[in-house]
Amino acid sequence: MRKHKDLLLRVFRYVKPYHGRLLMMLLLSVVTVACTLYTPVLIGRAVDTIVGEELVFYVRLLEILGTIGIVVIVTAASQWLMSLLVNKVTYRIVEDIRLQAFAHLEKVPVSYMDRNQPGDIISRIVTDVSQFSDGLLMGFTQLFTGILTILGTIFFMLAINYRIAFLVIVLTPLSLLVAGFIAGRTFRMFQEQSEKRAEMTSLVEELVGSQKVVQAFSYEERGQERFDKLNRELQSCGVRALFFSSITNPSTRFVNGLVYTCVCIFGAFSVIAGRMSVGQLTSFLSYANQYTKPFNEISGVAAELENALACAKRMFDFMDEPEEDPDPEDACADFQADGSVKIENVSFSYRKDAKLLQDITIDVKPGQRIAIVGPTGCGKTTMINLLMRFYDVDKGRILVSRKPVQEYTRDGLRENFGMVLQDTWLKAGTIRENIAYGKPDATQEEVENAARQAHAHGFIRRMPEGYDTLISEDGGNISQGQRQLLCIARVMLLKPAMLILDEATSSIDTRTEIRVQKAFAELMEGRTSFIVAHRLSTIKEADLILVMKDGNIIEQGKHEDLLAKGGFYAKLYNSQFAVQ
């Protein structure tokens, strides 16, 4: 109950900005309920105008029927306006939550994205918010009118016959107890359903996004098996949740049916005893029916709210994830790095139980080319993540231009780095927009010069629309090599103070690679460069080669010196080039 209360209070914080419209909705609810409850009074009076055969007060009857017609029209109009306001408020609230959730997504640290599947995050922001909005919609439309109807009918029933009214009031809450008992047990089921739905979204996103890999490795059958297993689990927990939630309404209707039967019996005896008229009994039966109806609706809302709250909990759990530590208020946002980088006694690990980088110290002078080599998993890419402050060090410090990186804003620091990775970063848009991604105000001439330096101008000219050719998300309609050339052109356009090249030419043919390497050599002239490479032939000209193994720098020096030592680097190099 405590968790439910906290969730509801949090939801109400999103409702608060729309309190004016909520008051209007409440007013319209009062009008709707008042007109609805006034109708049985008119019907009872109409019945009492028919005293017997050939004894009907037609004038009075027509007046009452006319009044009933006006009341029905007012009821319909107020219901329509209330529904309109409810929909507007609900979808505004959902819009606010989605905007806040997406804004939070851009503030969570990279470590969160590494720990969680993209499909699960998508499910929380899209699917869970939609499910939550459905529950909110039902809550607004039925809770307001339901509560007012209950209070109104109690007043009118007490006015007609307080004895029977007391009987109805005592018996009807049994339906709420039944509904509460069932709803309390469906929350966990709906939560499990949301989690399974998120798993399925993640699996579908993974398989669809990697369809070429799936087909290349004949993974179709195993992928189908994983999907079928998840689908069965989702179907099973969904059926359980739906079954238990669907018991609520019939159970409450059964209780309310018993109440209505009791009212009929006691009312009939009251008419016989002369304590009330037939018209009053007709009105009372109508009120008894209207009194029990909101309990049925509220019980249905309770089941739907359990689903909505389960989805809200997943959504709020995501929004409660700690954001990336903010930059200090006095952090430098706009600076030009001189190219010096110093790493002092740095230790870092992604998990506390698995050590990675240990006591790393490097002193990089401006304009130096630093190559980082070593076996897979030794910490090469982790070094790049620390330089870019995608992660912060556990121990030690990193200095850029003789100042700790924490004294710069992350954006300001990253503007001084240009990155070309083995994995390409492209967006849906034109080729020109992708090249000018880091410099949107670049001229056409600057974009073309950058493409020429990257040796991408030739294939771009052969495209249907040239630089205006649209490419899909991640460049799916061009080759891997062409995607990498566009990423290289992007860096050529920016000409940053420092470069990070992580297997930057891994997807390019040998002839083009030689040309691009020459262009890189020109670009690196006078710029500090960090080069992560597995092909050791590309780093012979590096000023300093760092050889990493198991998170430690075990060797460092120039290419010729390291070969002469005959150590680990020499073994790596000879394994690639020595003639056996």
- Asked if residue 492 and residue 443 are part of one domain, the reply reads yes
Arithmetic mean of pLDDT, 512-519: 72
Angle at 289 between CA 284 and CA 293, to 5 degrees: 145
User: DSSP letter at 468?
Assistant: G
Tell me, yes or no, whether 440 and 401 share the same domain.
Answer: yes
Residue 546 and residue 553: Cα distance in Å, rounded? Answer: 6
Predicted TM-score (pTM) of the model is 0.64
Mean pLDDT of the residues in the chain: 79
| Beta-carbon count within 10 A of 27 CB | 13
| Per-residue pLDDT at 90 | 81
Give the lowest-confidence range in 63-72, 157-166, 480-489, 491-500. 157-166
Would residue 9 count as lying in a domain? Answer: no
What Å distances lie between residue 62 and 35, 50, 69, 71, 389, CA to CA?
19, 12, 11, 14, 81
**Helices H, strands E: what count in the chain?**
21, 14
The predicted structure's pLDDT at residue 405: 87
345 and 245 in a single domain? The answer is: no
Contact 284, 160 (CB under 8 A): yes
pLDDT recorded at residue 236: 83
pLDDT tier for residue 185 given thresholds of 50, 70 and 90: low
- Does 528 fall in a domain? yes
Task: Give yes or no for residue 563 having a pLDDT over 80.
Answer: yes
For residue 419, which phi and psi values (nearest 5 degrees)? Answer: -115, 135
Q: Does residue 327 lie within any of the structural domains? A: no
Q: Examine residue 509 and state whether it is found in any structural domain, yes or no.
A: yes
Same domain, 311 and 226: yes
Cβ neighbors of 474 (< 8 A, separation 6 or more) are: 424, 426, 483
User: Cα–Cα distances in Å, from 485 out to 384, 398, 472?
Assistant: 21, 31, 16
Confidence label for 2 from pLDDT (cuts 50, 70 and 90): low
Let me know whether 287 and 346 are in one domain: no
DSSP string, 111-135: HHHHHS-HHHHHIIIIIIHHHHHHH
Do 258 and 370 reside in the same domain of the chain? no
Give 267-270 contacts, CB < 8 A, sequence gap 24+: 267/161, 267/164, 270/161, 270/163, 270/164
Question: To 5 degrees, how large is the angle CA 366–CA 371–CA 373?
Answer: 155
pLDDT at 99: 87
* Residue 503 counted as domain residue: yes
Pair (381, 463) in one structural domain: yes
Cα 73 to chain center, whole Å? 43
In this structure, are 426 and 525 located in the same domain?
yes
The number of residues in the chain equals: 580
Q: What is the DSSP string of 512-532?
A: HHHHHHHHHHHHHTTSEEEEE
Residues 467 and 567 in one domain: yes
Q: Which of 332, 366, 355 is nearest to 525 (CA)?
A: 366
Any idea which of 52-61, 97-106, 335-344, 354-363 has the lowest mean pLDDT? 52-61
Band (pLDDT 50/70/90 cuts) for residue 140 is low
pLDDT in tens, 198-257: 788 778 877 776 777 777 777 888 888 888 888 888 888 778 777 777 776 677 777 777
Q: Which two tokens stand for residue 377?
A: 């998993």
- 95's enclosing H/E stretch is helix 58-105
154 shares its domain with 297: yes
- Between 477 and 71, whose confidence is greater? 71
What's the pLDDT band for 51 if we cut at 50, 70, 90?
A: low
Angle at 416 between CA 411 and CA 422, to 5 degrees: 95
* Least confident segment among 196-205, 279-288, 328-337, 369-378: 279-288
Q: Is 144 exposed, middle or buried (0-12, 13-18, 19+ CB in 10 A)?
A: buried
| Tokens coding 478 | 């061009």
| Model confidence pLDDT, tens digit, residues 465-492 | 888 888 877 666 777 778 878 888 888 8
pLDDT at residue 483 in the model: 81
529 domain-assigned:
yes
Nearest Cα neighbor of 572 from 383, 423, 379, 376 is 376
How many whole angstroms separate alpha carbon 207 and alpha carbon 552?
36
- Residues with Cβ < 8 Å from 403, sequence gap 6 or more? 332
Q: Averaged over 68-91, what is the pLDDT?
A: 86
Domain containing 494: what range? Answer: 341-577
Instruction: Average the pLDDT over each of 321-335, 388-402, 443-457, 472-486 and give the range with the smallest value.
Output: 472-486
Out of 319, 349, 367, a domain closes at 319
Specify whether the CB–CB gap between 129 and 101 falls below 8 A.
yes
CATH number at residue 435: 3.40.50.300
Q: What is the CATH number of the domain that holds 140?
A: 1.20.1560.10
> What band does 296 get if pLDDT is binned at 50, 70 and 90?
low
Say if residue 275 is in the same domain as residue 360.
no
Domain boundary among 269, 288, 319: 319
564, 565, 569, 571 alpha-carbon torsion, rounded to 10°: 80
- For the chain, what is the domain count? 2
Residue 154 scores a pLDDT above 60: yes
User: Is 325 inside a domain boundary?
Assistant: no
Side chain identity, residue 247: I
Q: Percent of the chain having pLDDT more than 70?
A: 89
**Residue 315 lies inside a defined structural domain of this protein:** yes
Q: From 289, 319, 349, give the residue that closes a domain.
A: 319
More reliable by pLDDT, 577 or 374:
374
Please indicate, yes or no, whether residues 298 and 369 belong to a single structural domain of this protein: no
Cα separation of 289 and 299, whole Å? 16
**Higher per-residue pLDDT: 346 or 169:** 346
Please write the tens of the pLDDT for every residue from 306-357.
777 777 888 888 888 888 888 888 888 788 888 888 988 888 888 777 778 8
Whose CA is closest to 289, among 268, 313, 260? 260
Angle, vertex CA 74, rays to CA 142 and CA 300, nearest 5: 10
Question: What number is the average pLDDT over the span 355-361?
Answer: 83
- pLDDT, residue 580, reads 41
Distance CA 136, CA 69 (A): 32
Please give the structure tokens belonging to residue 42.
């008119």
**pLDDT, tens digit (0-9, with 9 covering 90-100), for 408-434:** 888 888 888 888 877 777 888 888 988
Q: Which residue matches tokens 């008119």? A: 42
Look at residue 138 and give its three-state secondary structure. helix
Return the pLDDT at 271. Answer: 74
What's the pLDDT score for residue 579?
45
